Amino acid sequence: MTFLCVYVDGGKGHYVPAKAVAEQLEAKGHKTILVDFFALLDMKGIGRINKHVWKKLLEHPDFENRFSKNNDQNTNEIKSVSKILCKLKMRRFKNVMAQYQPDMIFTTHPYPDYFLSDMMRHSGINVPVTYYATDVFSVPCSAVCPMLYRMYVATEEGIESARQGGQAAESLRLCPFPLQSVCRNDKLGKAEARRKLGLKEDVFTLQINFGGEGVGTTDLLEGLKSADYPIQVVIIGGIPGKTMAMLEKIVEELPPNVSVRIAGFVDNVDEYLAACDIIAGRSGINTLVEAFKLRRPFLITELVYTVMASADYVVKHGVGWNASRDTARQLRIIEESAKSPMSLEAMDRAFNSINITYDAAGLAEMLIEDTVAYKESHGGQQ
């Protein structure tokens, strides 16, 4: 079978799960086309604007929260845009469908979820459109779509959120979290990981994550200038030149008991996760759930609107802290954890309450099963 896996290039949160599932579908002998939504419909210019706007919103979290909340609650907007796309891009859509002849369209973003479902309905083409809810703990109103064949959600909280938002219950399916391949090894111990990375084995280790977009604050690192305890800090993620210069300047001013490695974007994410005691940063869903898998507490330093539910989840299960925009509290948490390791041991037991399975291959198998079921019930004729 052929699967068209569609994401939006606006951050790693939508690309990573699409890629993880596509890899597993390929491993099972199926053909996959992994493509950005805007490229698919020949709207790369709009895609670049969308990516630029999203990055600017991340740089201004207060405004982002107001903007995203209003945008999410205004469902008429996505319906209006969909009508325009159906008129302007229907020929392109039909050509794409004729070229790739997919048996299923799998999406990881509300835009292709809704727009492609609507275009499918108007085109008369008989191919199921499915959506994986990347926000995991909640489903944005813009993703709720009556035309969607299947919505896959990795948590019961997310399922309930989708139900309350109006998604048809028969379209919802609880699924595993599609963990990227570099984070599937949870057998690596903390000491071994530190040896592999050349870090000190017996020093409290903090990871500061700037995410794929390299957007984050340097306040936490700067606050360590007054630290009077040994700590090593590893900074990972896409780090732009301006931010790198700021980080390097701060590192020069830190006391000798604070050592820092600016690793930047790395391929061995699992090793860095395994090596740390605490992960700090924005609560990006992929990084957050990867931390759950490795049983590493997460210190939320900033929040965007779409992942507010993830902060509630972290606090509810006692596997981290929501100290968004409160640098003083963040520093207290780190100091207390470094000086009292027993507190983290108690938190480690709390990870037993996390009811998430991690299996990209399992989600791929669900797609295959649902495609077969759709063909049997709908005929699958394009």
End-to-end CA distance of the chain: 14
pLDDT at site 74:
64
Task: Write phi, then psi, for 295 (nearest 5 degrees).
Answer: 60, 50
pTM of the model: 0.89
- On whether the CB atoms of residues 312 and 157 are closer than 8 A, the answer is no
Question: What pLDDT score was predicted for residue 230?
Answer: 96
Q: Under a CB-based contact definition with an 8 Å cutoff, are residues 153 and 139 in contact?
A: yes
Pairing of strands 258-264, 298-302: unpaired
CA torsion 39-43-46-52 (nearest 10°) is: 10
* Cα–Cα distances in angstroms (integers) from residue 153 to residues 13, 130, 140, 276, in the given order: 14, 11, 12, 29
Q: How far apart are CA 130 and CA 367, in angstroms?
A: 9
Strands (E), the chain: 2-7, 31-36, 104-107, 129-132, 150-153, 172-174, 205-209, 231-236, 258-264, 278-282, 298-302, 320-322
Contact 165, 146 (CB under 8 A): no
Query: Mean pLDDT for each 10-residue chunk of the chain (382 residues)?
Result: 94 88 97 97 92 75 68 75 93 96 96 95 94 93 93 96 94 93 70 94 93 75 95 89 88 96 89 94 84 93 82 93 93 94 85 92 97 85 45
pLDDT of amino acid 381: 45
- What pLDDT, on a 0 to 100 scale, did the predictor assign at position 10? 77
Whole-number pLDDT of residue 95: 96
The helix/strand/coil state of 121 is: helix
Nearest C-alpha neighbor of 52 from the set 44, 301, 140: 44
